């Protein structure tokens, strides 16, 4: 299976001679954002990282990114040793952009042009495009119900491609053409240099259009072939927040389908967001409106209630996370019961069968098996043993305004409600804290500590009454 797959790949992929240029110098004005367009996250990863990934899947000789003003941020986000960078100082058009990459291209293969803001194009489609470009110029096109804004594909009476005309340069009749240029092209490198050198910016946008190389190829009798993607979304680009949101739904839907194919039960595949990598065991159930970020692992039979946020976490088998729980940088379970309304912050490690209830916040603490904090508590910088009960309103006072200190609670301790443990402090094995204790010293094993003012009783107490006016 594997070896035949590899053989197939070797047959369809040109072994040598593929170079890829990713255009990413556009400003993305319509995003109206301080973040460069290609760095906007799609399912948690920058747009351009999808394009780099699909580019790598084709094993190109050269992988070059054309960046513009502020492009250092792009480089900072995705740089790797296989990437070459070309600066386009002025945004003078797609043809001008490709020209900047020319010094990186050996000149004897196929140059595949991708857009940094068209993230969902698939390897298979690009393989077909590159294959088509052997002895031809290959353009990826789609038919759009509303082609407004795109370059239109002009064909002659016999259906041969003649040229591409941009929206702004097109006549009314040309604008009625529904077949559009996606912008993705595979170009014989031997001709590219001469074609680019002949481009003119005598057009509506005063730009050097890469699309004008099509008419030049036709003049030179080089065939121009259109390749269509299997799915329309492969060719969708991001120019505005609305388009970004639309692609986000495409990706999320696909992720939901994949999860369900692997046996994960989703209450509603339209109401889950995975912004990273979610790995699930068997028998996992995920209720509606959950957001997963970063690397999240859910063990067998884990159930996630509605409206939870989970980032960079590992949830052990059989654990149940109830509604509105927030988990970030934590290891939980197995067999844990968390929430509703619990918050687990970075550095939290909960062993087997730990119960964390509503309005309990845990930070940088290890809690051992069978321990509970069921209501309203803050546990920070603590080491908690087994079978410990942390009462409602308990607070570890871990911070003196300058430094943080640790609280240690040993096995079988019982912390009465509304206690403050002023760290550094240790509660010995089996010790008890009476309700309302403010603990400022260590408690030996099996002892009771209680700090509580004696109750003052005054009989028949008269409360103040309002003055007559
Ligand atoms: C381009 C095509 C159009 C096609 C459309 C598909 C041209 C002349 N037009 O138009 O036929 O239908 O894409 O979306 O090619 N870029 C640079 N430097 C520049 C200009 C653009 O790097 O100077 C990059 C952008 O970052 C973007 C891509 O090239 O990734 C396309 O730029 P954009 O301005 O969106 O092109 P359109 O005018 O939409
Ligand atoms: Ca565009």
pLDDT score for 387: 98
> 377 and 267, same structural domain?
yes
Same domain, 129 and 268: no
Residue 462 is assigned to a structural domain of this protein: no
**Is 463 a member of any domain?**
no
Share of the chain above pLDDT 70, in %: 97
Same domain, 376 and 413: yes
Q: Which of 235, 257, 284 is the last residue of a domain?
A: 235
CATH code of 401's domain: 2.160.10.10
Q: Atom 30 in ligand 1: which residue has the minimum CA distance?
A: 115
Under the banding of pLDDT at 50, 70 and 90, the label for residue 13 is very low
pLDDT at 29: 85
- Structure confidence by residue, pLDDT tens digits, 36-88: 999 999 999 999 999 999 999 999 999 999 999 788 899 999 999 999 999 99
d(CA 284, CA 256): 13
The Cα–Cα gap between 435 and 420 comes to 10
How confident is the model over 135-159, as a mean pLDDT?
96
Phi/psi region, residue 44 (left: phi>0; alpha: psi -120 to 50; beta: rest), is left
Domain-terminating residue out of 200, 235, 270:
235
Q: Is the pLDDT of residue 15 over 80?
A: no
Show which of 220, 235, 250 is a domain's final residue: 235
Residues whose beta carbons lie less than 5 angstroms from ion ligand 2: 237
Asked if 172 and 290 sit in the same domain, the reply is: no
**Span 158-165, mean pLDDT?**
97
Mutational test site, ligand 1, from 26, 46, 87, 215, max ligand atoms within 8 Å of CB: 26
Residue 128 lies in a domain: yes
- The residue to which tokens 């409106």 are assigned: 289
- How many domains does one find in the chain? 2
Reported as a pLDDT band with limits 50, 70 and 90, residue 16 is low
How many other CB atoms are found less than 10 A from the CB of residue 241?
13
3-state secondary structure of 458: coil
Query: Which residue, by CA, sits nearest to atom 8 of ligand 1?
Result: 209
Q: Is 180 in contact with 174 (CB distance < 8 Å)?
A: no
What is the per-residue pLDDT for 468?
87
Pocket test for ligand 1, best of 25, 39, 94, 211 (most atoms within 8 A of CB): 94
Of 183, 224, 243, which is best to mutate to test ligand 1, by the most ligand atoms within 8 angstroms of its C-beta?
Answer: 183
The one catalytic residue among 40, 104, 355, 375: 375
Q: How much is the pTM?
A: 0.89
Q: How far apart are CA 388 and CA 410, in angstroms?
A: 8
Nearest ligand to residue 24 Cα: 1
CA 154 to chain centre: 38
Residue 90 pLDDT exceeds 70? yes
Residue 375 designated active-site: yes
* 263 in the same domain as 149: no
Instruction: Judge if 8 and 73 occupy the same domain.
Output: yes
* Environment class of 42 (CB within 10 Å of its CB; exposed 0-12, middle 13-18, buried 19+): buried
- Give the whole-angstrom CA distance, residue 323 versus residue 66: 46
**Are residues 274 and 147 part of one domain?**
no
Could you tell me if 87 and 142 lie in one domain?
A: yes
Q: What is the CATH number of the domain that holds 187?
A: 3.90.550.10
String of DSSP letters for 42-75: ETTEEHHHHHHHHHHTT--SEEEEEE-TTTHHHH
- Over range 280-294, report the average pLDDT: 98
Q: What are the tens digits of pLDDT across the range 333-371?
A: 999 999 999 999 999 999 999 999 999 999 999 999 999
Q: Which two tokens stand for residue 299?
A: 């063990």
Ligand 1 neighbours, Cβ below 6 Å, are 23-26, 66, 88, 91-94, 96-97, 115-117, 150-151, 164, 166, 180-183, 209-211, 237
329 plus 224 within the same structural domain: no
The boundaries of the domain holding residue 387 are 241-449
Closest CA to 246 of 425, 447, 42, 37: 42
Quick check: is 44 in a domain? Answer: yes
For residue 95, what are the contacts with CB-CB under 8 A and spacing of at least 6?
Answer: 196, 199, 207, 208, 209, 210, 211, 212, 213
Q: How confident is the model at residue 7 (pLDDT cuts 50, 70, 90)?
A: very low
Judge if 207 and 283 occupy the same domain: no
Mean pLDDT of the chain: 95
- The mean pLDDT value for 7-26 works out to 71
Q: Does one domain contain both 215 and 275?
A: no
CA–centroid distance, 216 to ligand 2, in Å, is: 23
pLDDT at 398 over 70: yes
Question: Does residue 458 belong to any structural domain of this protein?
Answer: no
HEC string for 398-410: CECCCCECCEEEC
Whether residue 257 is contained in a domain is answered as yes
d(CA 192, CA 99): 9
Q: Could you tell me the distance, in angstroms and rounded to a whole number, from the CA of residue 467 to the centre of ligand 2?
A: 75
Q: What is the sign, positive or negative, of the torsion defined by CA atoms of 257, 259, 262, 264?
A: negative
| 67 alpha carbon, closest ligand | 1
Q: Which residues contact 386 (CB under 8 A, 6 or more apart)?
A: 351, 368, 369, 370, 371, 411, 412
Is position 455 within any domain? no
Q: Which two tokens stand for residue 165?
A: 């005309």
For the cut 50, the answer to whether the pLDDT of residue 321 exceeds it is yes
Domain identity same for 105 and 174: yes
Task: Answer whether residue 306 is part of any domain.
Answer: yes
């Amino acid at each position: 299976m594997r070896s035949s797959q590899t053989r197939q790949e070797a047959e369809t992929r040109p072994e040598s001679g593929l170079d890829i240029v990713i255009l990413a110098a556009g400003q993305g004005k319509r995003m109206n954002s301080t973040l460069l367009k290609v760095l906007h996250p799609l399912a948690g990863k920058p747009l351009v990282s999808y394009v780099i990934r699909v580019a790598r899947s084709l094993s190109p000789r050269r992988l070059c990114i054309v960046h513009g003003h502020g492009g250092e941020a792009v480089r900072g986000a995705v740089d790797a040793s296989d990437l070459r960078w070309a600066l386009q100082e002025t945004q003078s058009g797609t043809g001008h952009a490709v020209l900047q990459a020319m010094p990186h291209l050996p000149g004897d293969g196929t140059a595949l042009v991708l857009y940094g803001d068209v993230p969902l194009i698939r390897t298979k489609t690009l393989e077909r495009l590159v294959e088509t470009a052997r002895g031809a110029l290959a353009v990826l096109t789609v038919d759009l119900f509303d082609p407004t804004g795109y370059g239109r594909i002009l064909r002659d009476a016999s259906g041969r491609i003649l040229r591409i005309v941009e929206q702004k340069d097109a006549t009314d009749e040309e604008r009625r053409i529904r077949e559009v240029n996606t912008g993705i092209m595979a170009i014989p490198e031997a001709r590219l240099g001469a074609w680019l050198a002949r481009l003119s910016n005598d057009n509506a946008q005063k730009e050097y259009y890469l699309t004008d190389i099509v008419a030049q190829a036709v003049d030179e009798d080089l065939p121009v072939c259109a390749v269509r993607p299997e799915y329309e979304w492969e060719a969708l680009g991001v120019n505005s927040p609305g388009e970004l949101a639309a692609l986000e739904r495409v990706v999320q839907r696909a992720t939901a389908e994949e999860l369900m194919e692997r046996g994960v039960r989703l209450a509603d595949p339209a109401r889950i967001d995975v912004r990273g990598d979610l790995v699930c065991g068997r028998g996992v159930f995920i209720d509606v409106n959950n957001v997963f970020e970063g690397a999240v692992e859910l063990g067998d039979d884990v159930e996630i209630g509605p409206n939870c946020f989970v980032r960079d976490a590992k949830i052990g088998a059989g654990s149940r996370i109830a509604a509105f729980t927030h988990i970030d940088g934590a290891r939980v379970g197995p067999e844990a019961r968390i929430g509703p309304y619990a918050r687990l912050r970075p550095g939290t490690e909960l062993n087997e069968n730990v119960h964390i209830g509503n309005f309990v916040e845990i930070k940088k603490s290890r809690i051992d098996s069978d321990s509970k904090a069921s209501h309203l508590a803050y546990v920070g910088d603590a080491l908690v043993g087994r079978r410990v009960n942390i009462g409602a309103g308990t607070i570890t006072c871990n911070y003196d305004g300058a430094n943080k200190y640790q609280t240690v609670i040993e096995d079988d301790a019982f912390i009465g409600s509304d206690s403050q443990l002023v760290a550094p402090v240790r509660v010995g094995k089996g010790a008890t804290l009476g309700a309302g204790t403010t603990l400022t010293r260590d408690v030996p094993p099996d002892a009771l500590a209680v700090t509580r003012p004696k109750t003052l009783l005054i009989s028949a107490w008269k409360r103040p009454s309002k003055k007559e006016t």
